[in-house]
Structure 1
Amino acid sequence: MSLGGATALPSAQSANLTVSVEGLRDHKGNLLFCLTRRTAEFLKCDKDPDAVRGSVAANVGTLNFEHMVPGEWSLLMIHDSNGNGKLDKRFGIPREGFGFSRNPPIRFGPPSAEAVRFEVPAGVSHQQVKMRYIF
């Protein structure tokens, strides 16, 4: 699935990012995504007016973000298996799948901004996001 970037640039200066999604438990519901340059607030996608966010069917294995601004980005993905548009939690622990750019280890709480930040150069690049499930 192709998705537009945060800012349209001439093709010689823009970046295209392909994200492959691995480890989905099933194809029910949707994948919610947030691609943001405000890496310190990558968990608060709604706070970044320039973030690229959306929802696609969970059976999509690859997302293509086109005409992006090169630079540092962070990506958060949620497997919204029941389609309610949010990450369901129980006692603060995610009940649905989630994944981050660079696939950092998950310990007690979310990873740091530094652990998920990655460089998107001009041209074509790729990220793989492995979905994780706690329950």
Structure 2
Amino acid sequence: MLATAATSPVPLPAPPLATLRVDVEGLRDRKGHLLFCLTRQTKDFLSCDKDPTAIHGSVAADTAAINFENMAPGEWALLMIHDSNGNGKLDTRFGIPREGFGFSGNPVIRFGPPSAGAVRFVLPSGTSEQRLKMRYIL
């Protein structure tokens, strides 16, 4: 007769999480809010607001740094808008942003938005820091 030992399932350890600190630089003024959206759907980063798993929100524009905790390590993209008039959106004139904006990786902005590869970054477990420079065109 074959005897088997009763085993109870051993819980797997939780995957290590990440903390991201984003230092915001180059604000024109401290009026309004900073709207942010962090997405793991980096190919569609410009549609971050349509990603149900994205981390989005706003903070007062006088905030120098934003901390994101308990994030999953992996590829991410960050978009930020300086909503200086507080209307909850990026104001444009003839398609040109009238308010400040920024992306992770601080890509060079020429004509149109940056590529997904230019804003994608890898977030390791533990604590990381990004510097995001706000840009103003008008």
**How far apart are 1:46 and its partner, in Å?**
2.1
Alignment of 1:10-89 (within 5 A): 10=14, 13-89=16-92
| 1:95 maps to which of 98, 120, 124 | 98
Q: Distance in 2 between matches of 1:15 and 1:46?
A: 22
- Tell me, what secondary structure is at the counterpart of 1:25? coil
**How far apart are 1:40 and its partner, in Å?**
1.0
- Tell me, what secondary structure is at the counterpart of 2:46? coil
Question: Which structure 1 residue ranges, 5 or more long, are not aligned?
Answer: 1-8
The yes-or-no answer on 1:124 pairing with 2:127 is: yes
**How far apart are 1:41 and its partner, in Å?**
1.1
Identity %: 71
Name the residue aligned to 2:115: 112
Q: Distance in 1 between matches of 2:18 and 2:79?
A: 19
**How far apart are 1:97 and its partner, in Å?**
0.1
Q: Deviations over 1:42-69 (max 9, x none)?
A: 1112221000000100000000000000
Q: CA RMSD, aligned part only?
A: 1.2
- Tell me, what secondary structure is at the counterpart of 1:45? helix
Name the residue aligned to 1:5: none
Larger radius of gyration: 2
Letter in structure 1 aligned against 2:92: K
Q: Deviations over 1:89-117 (max 9, x none)?
A: 00000000000001000000000010000
Aligned length, in residue pairs: 126
Q: Deviations over 1:9-56 (max 9, x none)?
A: 95x600000000000000000000000000111111222100000010
> Structure 1-normalised TM-score?
0.91
